[in-house]
Structure 1
Amino acid sequence: MIAQVSPLALAEWFQSTGTASPQVLDVREPWELQTASVKPEGFELVTIPMGEVPARLEQLDPQRPVACLCHHGARSQRVAAFLAHNGFSHVANVAGGIDAWSLERDPSVARY
């Protein structure tokens, strides 16, 4: 089962993995990234549209924790399951996506 982590609990989840260099994988489309994006604070932000993840899987380190992010959480849930199926041991879905990020963590992030 994929962990569901709220934007506010993300730092705590990263710490619980016991590994360094956490990543947030934003799987939204380029136009969505231009509309709203998160600021990397305590993690590396990686942006790969959902449809490109299989072809670009080598750009991600399966030893590092990865929290997947999309607009509301559905696409990122699918990508998180794909990563877990492909040997990533520390994977989570950011519950509610960037919309929840704006509401819970950083109101400067645009909602769309």
Structure 2
Amino acid sequence: MIDQVRPRDLDAWLAGHPGAIVLDVRELPELRAASVQPQGFELVAIPMNEVPARLAALDPDRPVACLCHHGARSMRVAMFLAQNGFGTVANIAGGIDAWSQERDPAVPRY
């Protein structure tokens, strides 16, 4: 099962999943437009289309919360990870757009 976690609830999800990472699957121009500042978590950026080729760079034993612009791409990546042996996977519902509204208004919306 893939958890759906709102940005405002991410800290609680991370606290319940020690060692978790946030996987940002947006493209480089999107990262330049708006980025998350990791606070109490590790942030890894791998564009969605590169995840299959770089899967070995991720530890399937570590919980992963996936992030994109609105939550659709990150959900696809979360499903892919779950299908490839990742035990604890979440989708950050609403993506970085919701992040800006719920967590950090300094993150630009695009």
Look up the match of 2:15. Answer: 15
Structure 1 gap ranges (5+) = none
| Distance in 2 separating the partners of 1:97 and 1:65 | 18
Provide the secondary structure at the position in 1 that maps to 2:65: strand
Deviation by residue 1:8-63 (Cα, 9 ceiling, x = unmatched): 1111112223xx32210000000000000000111110000000000000111111
Provide the secondary structure at the position in 2 that maps to 1:92: strand
Provide the secondary structure at the position in 2 that maps to 1:55: coil
Over the matched positions of the two proteins, sequence identity in percent amounts to: 69
Aligned length: 110
Aligned residues: CA RMSD: 0.8
Asked if the contact 2:2–2:88 (Cα under 8 Å) also holds between the matched residues in 1, the reply is: no
- Residues 1:6 and 2:6 are matched in the alignment: yes
TM-score (norm 1): 0.95
Structure 1 runs of 4+ with >3 Å offset: none
Structure 2 gap ranges (5+) = none
Give the residue type in structure 2 aligned to 1:68: C
Give the residue type in structure 2 aligned to 1:6: R
